[in-house]
Chains A and B, each alone.
Chain A
Amino acid sequence: MLEIKDICFTRDNKKILNHVSLNIDTDKFVAITGPNGSGKSTLVKMIMGIEKPDTGKVLLEGKDITNLSIDERAKLGIGFAFQQPVKFKGITVYDLLKLSSGKEINKSEACEILSKVGLCAKEYVDREVNNSLSGGELKRIEIATVAVRNSKFTIFDEPEAGIDLWSFQSLIKIFEDMRKIVKGTTLIISHQERILNIADEIILMKSGEIEAQGSKEKLLGQVLEKPTCCKLGGQDNG
């Protein structure tokens, strides 16, 4: 489905990605985890085209997309949920869902998708996607904009970031239902055990390299026992 071939990316004399290669199969739910600064976000941005590698290639279904723009990749079926949802003055939730779906959807269709991400649709569909919404609400809307696209390959960049524990507890159910909402392949950056637990595969990154990749059964125990990130709840062994 998606192949990353020997990607390197250096900024300010720091190697952020160092010869990273990766294969992700169709219809898999894959979680990327690892310490802060290990290159996870940069790697997923390479897939969406938000960052371009210094060397190496990105292939989607065998097609080299390394030099394609963000929108060209979106049209090929890549979706991306931002870590920090973007706010817009004047653009309503309904407007954004229409833009996301790429076609005229009616309000009841928009409401249906909002209900799936746990928002009381009638209250939100006509609201502006601006500062009046809380972090948790914006996260749900961000997920809705990605879910409505029915992309082949959907990326979530650390969806738990920037929201309080209370919001996260109610949000986690959505990620557990992710497979029902988001079709195709899902790649999600997370530090949360409950999200890693629903993955088919886990990729562990460290210092710009992939330290391990394997099935959840094989890697989850290892990640939790010797966490490279104390956010996972274990001891930081340095």
Chain B
Amino acid sequence: MDKTDISLLEQITDIQGETFEGAYNIRKNGKGVERKVTDNINIVTKKDVSGIDIYVKENTKFEIVHIPVIITESGLNDVVYNDFYIGKNANVYIIAGCGIHNDHHKDSQHDGIHRFFLEEGAKVKYIEKHYGEGTGTGKRILNPVTEVHLKKGSSLEMESTQIKGVDSTVRETRGVLEDDTNFIVTEKIMTHGMQSAKTIFEVELNGRNSSTKVTSRSVATENSIQQFQSKVTGNTECFGHVECDAIIKDEGKVIAIPEIIANNVNANLIHEAAIGKIAGDQLMKLMTLGLNEKEAEQAIIDGFLK
């Protein structure tokens, strides 16, 4: 791996250097380049399509799986299918993400389709980061799909971040929840220039005492546009809370489309959405602390997306 590869990996994993703890699979320009498995976590290359299957043994506790993707080849359209099978009562961290470096005029695209199958009592914290860089006019496009299937008593917490450099993204997240399950999603997106970002979130609360909480915080600056579309269906006694907060700047546009469907009298579903520019009193407060207007604005955005 060269310096660009290592720098991209650092951006999406927050790990300095190229040593990952636990199991990992590094994919570069459409091909697996490095892999490590452990006694409890196995990674197998798929035979029918491009991608991997990740098997976590039952009762595996506090292990980490890294599956970063980097793209440095301009004009590449990489589609990958990764399936995660998490055994009963396992508790693991999964860190994914994609970094694209594009210095040329052709578009580079990565579509990562991730499916999670959690057995009873399993717990997963899933972190994904998306990042783009490079001086070329070719677009950096990322279209992640996340599908989550939660069996009784399992839970998945997902943190998804896109801070910089992604020209176009459609992010789809779907969940099907059985009894006593919990699905938490926190999404942070910042767009600038002519970028566009669309989030589609759909969850079916099928099991008793299933719950979901989705928090989306986004900042749309310059001429960028974002759309947040969510649909939560409560089919039984369940709880769903979707919160979409967006800051708009310059000519930025944000569209929030909420949909909550209660098919059962004991379904408790909430949707909150707020879009607006940075509040004047917030700027003023920080200016009384000695920050100039630009610094105050940055501090507010940094806090909002933290």
Contacts and interface: CB of A to CB of B under 8 A. Distances in A.
A102 B287 contact: no
B19 interface: no
A100 B290 CA distance: 8
Given A48-B288, A145-B289, A89 B299 contact: no
B279 to A, nearest CB: 8
Interface string A123-161: 000000000000000000000010001000000000000
A95 B303 CA distance: 8
Interface in A41-80: 48, 50, 69-71, 74-75, 78-80
Interface in A97-135: 99-100, 102
A79 B299 contact: no
A70 B287 contact: yes
Given A50-B284, A70-B284, A99-B299, A90 B289 contact: no
A102 B289 contact: yes
Given A70-B284, A88-B282, A89-B245, A99 B300 contact: no
A69 B288 contact: no
A22 interface: no
A145 to B, nearest CB: 7
Contact of A91 (B281, B288, B291, B303): B303
A71 B290 contact: yes
B46 interface: no
Nearest to B274: A89
A48 B281 CA distance: 14
Contacts of B281: 82, 84, 86
A145 B299 CA distance: 15
Contacts of A95: 303
Given A50-B284, A82-B285, A95-B303, A89 B217 contact: yes
A70 to B, nearest CB: 4
| Interface of chain B: mostly helix, strand, loop or mixed | helix
A71 B300 contact: no
Contacts of B284: 50, 70, 86
Interface string B265-293: 00000000000000101101111111111
Contacts, number: 62
B304 interface: yes
Contacts of B217: 89-90
Nearest to B293: A71
A102 B290 contact: yes
Given A90-B304, A90-B305, A95-B303, A149 B282 contact: no
B306 interface: yes
Contact of B291 (A78, A86, A99): A99
Number of chain B interface residues as a range: 20 to 34
A89 B304 contact: yes
A96 to B, nearest CB: 8
Contacts of B291: 71, 99
A72 to B, nearest CB: 8
A86 B285 contact: yes
B300 A79 contact: no
Contact of A86 (B282, B290, B306): B282
Nearest to B279: A86
A142 B289 CA distance: 11
Name the residue among A48, A80, A89 with the largest chain B CB count within 10 angstroms: A89
B303 A69 contact: no
Name the residue among B279, B285, B299, B306 with the largest chain A CB count within 10 angstroms: B285
A71 B292 contact: yes
Contacts of A90: 217, 303-306
Contacts of A99: 286, 289, 291, 299
B299 A74 contact: no
B290 A88 contact: no
Nearest to B188: A90
A103 B290 CA distance: 11
Given A50-B284, A86-B281, A86-B282, A91 B300 contact: yes
B288 A74 contact: yes
Nearest to A99: B289
26 contacts: A50-B284, A69-B292, A70-B287, A70-B288, A71-B287, A71-B288, A71-B291, A71-B292, A71-B296, A74-B289, A78-B288, A82-B281, A86-B282, A88-B304, A89-B245, A90-B303, A90-B304, A90-B305, A91-B299, A99-B289, A99-B291, A99-B299, A100-B289, A102-B289, A102-B290, A145-B289
Q: Which 6 A-B pairs have the closest CB atoms?
A: A91-B303, A90-B303, A74-B290, A70-B287, A86-B285, A90-B304
Given A71-B292, A71-B296, 15 more contacts: A48-B288, A69-B292, A70-B284, A70-B288, A71-B293, A75-B290, A82-B281, A88-B282, A88-B303, A89-B304, A90-B305, A90-B306, A91-B303, A91-B306, A99-B299
